[in-house]
Amino acid sequence: MRKVLRLAWFERAHTFRTSRALVVLLVIVIAVCYCLQGFVVGAVQAHASNVEKHSNVSVIELSTIRPDARVLDGESLSEVSRLKHVVSVVPWMQHDLDLADEGDWPSPTVSPGSLWATTYFEPRLPKMIEGDRPASLQDDEILLPDSVPGGNLRHLYGKTIMFGYTHIDGKYQGSYRTIPLKVVGIYDNSVPDKDGENPSYVSENTMNALFDGNAPESYTFAYVKVDSGDNVPVVQKKLAAMGFGVAGAAGQQDVTGVLATLMNIGRFMLPIVLVCSLTFGSFLSVIWMKQRKRSLALLRCLGYTAGQLGTLALIQIVQLVVAAGIVGIVLGTGLSLLLARFVDSGDLLNLTSLDSVVFDPVLALEMLGITGAGAVIGALPLSVKIAHSQPDALMRG
């Protein structure tokens, strides 16, 4: 074995030189696959995680539309908030709200109408037009719709505006009051939902201030945020057993399954490396045999056994694969860093949760191991054939 290793080391330069084209090809394949594993897979996983955290996938809606549904009040919602896997419970409330100063209207002759202050619940908010999508709102903040009668409200973004609302003074009695709120975002309201055509969104505390601390005794809807889409069915069953009227996003289980697949997409990339390695090993064996026929015949005449020649072939193939793998991983890491910087600088793909792309030693070892094993398995049949060929047959070929 030592004799074979010395010969393989002595011939390493010749081996790389005669197989340069295939080594370059394998470097490209490994660099691309490592980049896919490192950056693209990370981006897909970040996007899937972002969708799960900031969409209806992990949200359960409670309602009292069904006649026998349990009442949604402070006591029952407090009970829901204590359930396992429940992150938060937000009751749905609305209160009349309008722009108190006509100078803030988009049109001097057309009133924008009521903006209907609504309890803010981030997973249900459409895309933002101005500002970032906040996880929560402060007590003096408000999100406004983009389109209203008379134009749009984008000119109010970033300003503190006086809003008017009706204060309940008594039964069938009310007075007009104002409240200052800072506009921290403008959202797209082109597709209305059950919140209405032009709702604005405020925090629960601001909503309670509009009600002057006299919150409704019961609610029509409430939203339950679950820690993961996978746990939504479990929480839904528990809530239904407690008598609540339970609803969820349509096709929620199917969507959760798709997200789970996306978050484990890395498992589907490694077979590509294996197939490429098998193909590379097979072609390399053919080229190696054609280039080394006469030298192998001389080695057989010098006393090298069939087993030694087969081992020599596999060692030289492993040399090429490991060298190509290391160079490919270095290039793949650099490409991943460039892509990450490009995405971050341009704020592309809306991947706010994309982690910094760094060298992953576990992934590198996995790719090197699979690439080496694939090349050896692919090269093994022809290596054995080379080793057992007679010297005269090799010299004639």
String of DSSP letters for 98-162:
EES-GGGSSSSSS------EEE--GGG---EEES---SS--TTEEEEESEETTEE-GGGTT-EEE
pLDDT, tens only, 141-166: 999 999 999 999 999 999 999 999 99
Q: What is the pTM of this model?
A: 0.56
Q: Are 64 and 218 contacting, i.e. CB atoms less than 8 angstroms apart?
A: yes
Give pLDDT < 50 ranges for the chain: 249-259, 262-263, 350, 352-353, 356
Q: If DSSP states are collapsed to H, E and C, what string results for 323-376?
A: HHHHHHHHHHHHHHHHHHHHHHHHCCCCCCCCCCCCCCHHHHHHHHHHHHHHHH
Q: Which helix (H) or strand (E) holds 35?
A: helix 20-35
Query: What are the distances in angstroms from CA 78 to CA 72, 124, 224, 244, 257?
Result: 10, 21, 11, 13, 30
Secondary structure (DSSP) of 224-259: EEES-GGGHHHHHHHHHHTT-EEEE-TTHHHHHHHH
What does the pLDDT look like over 243-271, one tens digit per residue? 999 875 434 444 444 445 544 555 566 67
Structure tokens at 272: 């590509």
| Same domain assignment for residues 104 and 12 | no
Label the pairing between strands 128-130 and 173-187.
antiparallel
392 and 271 housed in the same domain: yes
Residues of the domain holding 163: 95-208
Terminal alpha carbon distance of the chain: 28
Residue 74 in any domain: the answer is no
Total domains in the fold of the chain: 2
pLDDT tens per residue across span 133-142: 888 899 899 9
Q: Residue 81 falls within a domain, yes or no?
A: no
Of the three residues 208, 232, 256, the one that is the final residue of a domain is 208
Neighbouring C-beta atoms of residue 82, cutoff 10 Å: 8
Which two tokens mark 53?
Answer: 């955290």
Identify whether residues 370 and 272 lie together within a single domain.
Answer: yes
3-state secondary structure of 294: helix
Is 300 part of a structural domain of the chain? yes
Q: Identify the pLDDT of residue 254.
A: 42
Cβ pair 198, 115 in contact under 8 A: yes
390, 273: one domain: yes
